[in-house]
Amino acid sequence: MSTNPSGRRAGRLASIGLAAGAALALVASAATSAVAQGASDPEPKKPGALIIGGVELPDNAYPWMAAILSKGSGSPVQRQFCGGSLISRNVILTAAHCMTGEKAKGLEVTVGRTLLSKKNQGQLRSVRSITIHPRYAKGEEAYDLAVLELAKPVTDIAPVKLPTLGTDALLRPGHKATVIGWGNTNTEVTNYPDRLRGVQVPLVSHAECKATNREYDKSVNICAGVEGKDSCQGDSGGPLFRKVAGRTYQIGIVSYGEGCAEQGAPGVYASTSSAKLWRTFGESSEGRRMLNLLGR
């Protein structure tokens, strides 16, 4: 795994693995190079995160989960480089660092697929447009959010719910959340799973997050994880969510971290309940168009 020039901690692009520690490592530069290479090279592009300390999930556990793949001749397991989530019938939410340098025509998305290699499972869609958060595009890495507009709506799969903007009711430290993905599952050797995996991690206070992550911005970020349980390379862009009163709410987007599942280094997520994160998304014309499309 490489790190970007800014010295930011490893990013979690490429494949997802639930790691047994609480650190989310997402390196935008590593992810970008891996994705770009995948367009012309069928070799696996695995610079991103993994789910450490997690378990395999059954089919249809989270049908709104999305796998983002580069188009090419390799297997879906090789071509998957980031996660995402269906937030409306034709919009996928993911991390901005996943989309840096990407072109819509070079990507495709599967929704409702638990086993990446099972091509008849779920729905495959082309991508019409990519919109990266305008502040992330200007170098503010805390604003790690992007949306993909699909060329054709997904049918018969309910999108995941997003929290009410500005509320922190779902974000209290100590509460358990779940992160899922196809990222690396081993901190010592590369092991990218075919089947979707998930792990529960505790939410961590803003003070603890800031102490271990200098780029952390409590107005748009949250963090979670404990030693031995975490997201890792390949999990980038995937969801952090909680189930409350029978409803599932996505509270975060896998962003970055210090290694994977390391002691005292919780993983950082873009906070989907942040009013500031969504309001500033509308600072670009494309961002405003997507907010209108989403009714936000």
- Catalytic residue numbers read 97, 144, 236
Query: What count of residues does the chain have?
Result: 296
- Which of 274, 296, 293, 295 minimizes the C-alpha distance to 148? 293
- Which of 40, 41, 32, 38 minimizes the C-alpha distance to 11? 32
Contact 220, 168 (CB under 8 A): no
Q: How far is CA 98 from CA 11, 60, 143, 247, 291, in A?
A: 9, 25, 12, 28, 20
State the Cα–Cα distance between residues 196 and 201, nearest whole angstrom: 17
Residue with tokens 């340098």: 101
Token pair of 126 as six digits = 């082309």
Q: Which residues pair with 244 in a beta bridge?
A: 247
* Exposure letters 21-57 (e unless 16+ CB within 10 A, then b): bbbbbbbbbbbbbbbbbbbeeeebbbbbbbbbbbebb
- Which of 180, 93, 181, 209 minimizes the C-alpha distance to 144? 93
Contact 271, 255 (CB under 8 A): no
